[in-house]
Amino acid sequence: MSEAHAQTQPEERLEIRPFGPEHMAAALTLSRQVGWPHRKEDWELAMAVSDGVVATQGDRVVGTACCSRFGAVTFYNMIIVDAALRGQGLGRRLMEAVMEPGAGSEMRLTATREGLPLYEKLGFAATHEILQHQGIARTTSPDLPVRDGSVADIGRLAEMDRNASGLERRDLLERIAVQGQVLLADGGFALVREFGRGHVIGPVVAEDAAVARALIAEGARRIAGRFLRIDLPEAAGLSEFVESLVLEHVGGGTAMVRAPGPAVDGDYQTYALVSQALG
């Protein structure tokens, strides 16, 4: 066998197929391989609002890629390639397969440093940075009143979310609300749920930074003494405040867009994401 044939043979055996429930355990193993904190429940939440593909090599799942359609915007996420197969073009094949359902929509994703060159080649352009903060939350009190909400509020909150982000995510927000807590303030809301190593606050949607800080402070108060994560758009300007809650800046990603639609110009702003995967 020639050297060239030996190099191409592994890729020739790769197949791209739809992501099904039977692939969930292998996908979880892949995400752990790259150091992501996702639990099975976190994968299940993402896949409840997503379609996806897997790359298989024989009986092994060696790659995943998913897309989540939220109205006129599609998010691409959970894009993972087995370490042994990186640098062979598999990431591009996965992305090209999963981008087909999003044709005609605005396309968004949050890129890791390693994935950034591929996404640029596929026509995505960087828009801003996402700052990941996490740690053991400390007790604090909000400066503005925050009260409990419920699943019954999700219709109204989904409208706030759409006003802030342009995303139609009622189904996703409702699923999160069933699992976690809904926090309401005059002029905004936040959701708190279990995720990864502990809990996450997100999204946080508010009319201004003061309301967002109150919602985050109340979320941290409820999780005080336990592990908490929050992902902030850099432009939200809340990184210093979040660090005061002992949530250290530990990394993040680059928000990117392809085929952008009209700019969102609403009365609300997204101060924290649902997740880097789902915006």
Q: What global pTM score does this model have? A: 0.92
177-228 residue pLDDT tens: 999 999 999 999 999 999 999 999 999 999 999 999 999 999 999 999 999 9
Q: 240 and 163, same structural domain?
A: yes
- What does the alpha-carbon distance between residue 129 and residue 234 come to, in Å, rounded to a whole number? 6
Query: Which of the four pLDDT bands, split at 50, 70 and 90, describes residue 8?
Result: very low
Question: Measuring CA to CA, which residue among 188, 197, 278 is closest to residue 231?
Answer: 278
User: Does residue 192 form part of some domain?
Assistant: yes
Give the residue carrying structure tokens 């150091």.
35
Number of domains in the chain: 2
User: Does residue 216 form part of some domain?
Assistant: yes
Look up the CATH number of the domain holding residue 9.
3.40.630.30
User: Does residue 24 form part of some domain?
Assistant: yes
Q: 154 and 76, same structural domain?
A: no
109 touches 119 (CB < 8 A): yes
Mean pLDDT of the chain: 94
Contacts of 278 (CB under 8 A, 6+ apart): 46, 49, 68, 75, 77, 169, 172
Task: Give buried/exposed letters for 189-210 (b at 16+ CB in 10 A, else e).
Answer: bbbbbebbebbbbbbbbbbeee
Q: Which domain holds residue 146?
A: 131-253+261-272
User: Does residue 110 form part of some domain?
Assistant: no
Instruction: Note the pLDDT of residue 33.
Output: 94
Among 67, 87, 104, the domain-final residue is: 104
46-88 residue pLDDT tens: 999 999 999 999 999 999 999 999 999 999 999 999 999 998 9
222 touches 193 (CB < 8 A): no
- What does the alpha-carbon distance between residue 212 and residue 188 come to, in Å, rounded to a whole number? 7
The dihedrals phi and psi of 271, each to the nearest 5 degrees, come to: -100, -15
Q: 138 and 20, same structural domain?
A: no
User: Does residue 126 form part of some domain?
Assistant: no
Q: 205 and 149, same structural domain?
A: yes
Look up the CATH number of the domain holding residue 171.
3.40.630.90
235-251 residue pLDDT tens: 999 999 999 999 999 99
